[in-house]
Structure 1
Amino acid sequence: MEIWINPACSKCRAATAALDEAGVTYTVRRYLDDPPTAAELEAVLTRLDLDPWHITRLNEPAATPLKTLPRDAAHRADWIEALMADPILIQRPILTTDDGTTAIARDQETLSRLLGD
């Protein structure tokens, strides 16, 4: 299991605490220090069945230029580039189980589903 986190994020801390409590073995990726590549983002988006604008934190100050960027296939690469250039924009935490199931684990219900509770 792998979890992409920002240690300053309370949702990330809650998710790792839940994993610890469940006794799950996992790998932490601090994606601000180790930003995902375009291929990694595309793989996560495919597993999530989402587009990059769906996992973009548009309330971040760095997202201002994206607010007018079209949300369409023609601009998908621009969204991916923005997420790679400024990974603070990526919604978190993103958890991928060993079987490839991936979710944005911001709530207990999602965490419980991923942990098989």
Structure 2
Amino acid sequence: MKATIWHNPKCGTSRKTLAILENLSTVDLTVVEYLKEPPSRDKLVQLYRDAGLSPNEGLRLRGTDAEQRGLPDAAADTVIEAMVADPILINRPLVETEKGVRLCRPQDRVLEIL
């Protein structure tokens, strides 16, 4: 099975999720450090749609200025544009497989799509 993780190596939850994926011999894993290689607008829209989340639900608040910018209450398009411009606003880790997409908080949520 192919899996892609949008990963931040400084995030403990992201590292734990990555470890789960790396320990499965059946997973062909692609790791994207999204702060270095941010997803496109279209990819973000697709990821949140496939995860059953609004962009606002995928917004990272901790350690960002999202609240000061009014993003938690902003329109979805505004949130997506902010994430594209400043990928630190993307909550992580997002994992995509052929079975779906999950925001893996907690990390065990990844098991739902394996």
TM-score for both structures, normalised by structure 1: 0.84
CA contact (8 A) 1:58 1:67 kept: no
Q: How many residues align?
A: 111
Gaps of 5+ in 1: none
- Alignment correspondent of 2:90: 90
User: Bigger radius of gyration, 1 or 2?
Assistant: 1
1:8 lines up with 2:10 in the alignment: yes
Gaps of 5+ in 2: none
* Within-5 A mapping of 1:1-117: 1-23=3-25, 24-67=27-70, 70-71=73-74, 75-97=75-97, 99-115=98-114
Identify, as 1 or 2, the structure richer in helix. 1
Runs in 1 of length 4+ with deviation above 4 angstroms? none
CA contact (8 A) 1:47 1:100 kept: no
CA contact (8 A) 2:39 2:84 kept: yes
Identify, as 1 or 2, the structure richer in strand. 2
Q: 1:101 to 1:69 in 2, by over 3 A?
A: closer
Aligned-residue Cα RMSD (Å) equals: 1.8
